[in-house]
Amino acid sequence: MARPEALKAVTARFTAEELVTRRNEVSEQIATQLRDKLARHGLVLDEFSIANFAFSPSFASAIEAKVNAEQKKLQADRDLLRIQVEAEQRIATARAKAEALRLQRQEVTPLLLELRRPENERLAVDKWNGQLPTTTVGGGALPFITLPAGH
């Protein structure tokens, strides 16, 4: 019977994660060592495979905790990347708006304002409701302009 040294010698080279993820490679290395040992005794190893690795409950919990921590880190990295992209988008939008305002300011000249005066006055008249502006002083509404009676 083959001794467990081949199993221990090979599995010691791998981390617990690798034992699971690289099971075929681990299995091949163990089979090679077993073939060599068994051949000395005239025995032939025809086939060898690893169906499953069993770890102690505490070790399995540690592996699970590590995997969860890695998943949380990946999620945090993705969140950070998303936040950075969104921030860059907001900055690009703000820069575009600032550039548009800068270009508009360049186009507003005294001549343009003079040409638009009739249009602006017409818009102001269209918006006026016909009431004189009032202000509240001491609780009552008083007009800005007081006309003497009889004039």
Q: What is the pTM of this model?
A: 0.41
pLDDT score for 146 = 63
Residue 135 has pLDDT above 70, yes or no: no
pLDDT (tens digit, 9 = 90+) per residue, 72-109? 999 999 999 999 999 999 999 999 999 998 888 888 88
Q: Between residues 145 and 66, which one has the greater pLDDT?
A: 66
Min mean pLDDT across 51-55, 89-93, 113-117 is at 51-55
List, as one string, the DSSP characters of the chain: ---THHHHHHHTTS-HHHHHHTHHHHHHHHHHHHHHHHHTTT--------------HHHHHHHHHHHHHHHHHHHHHHHHHHHHHHHHHHHHHHHHHHHHHHHHHHH--HHHHHHHHHHHHHHHHHH--SPPPEEEETTEEEESS-PPTT-
Min mean pLDDT across 55-64, 93-102, 129-138 is at 129-138
Domain ranges of the chain: 1-54, 55-117
Average pLDDT over residues 55-83: 90
Which residue has tokens 């548009």? Answer: 100
pLDDT (tens digit, 9 = 90+) per residue, 28-50? 998 998 898 889 889 898 888 88
Q: Between residues 43 and 7, which one has the greater pLDDT?
A: 43
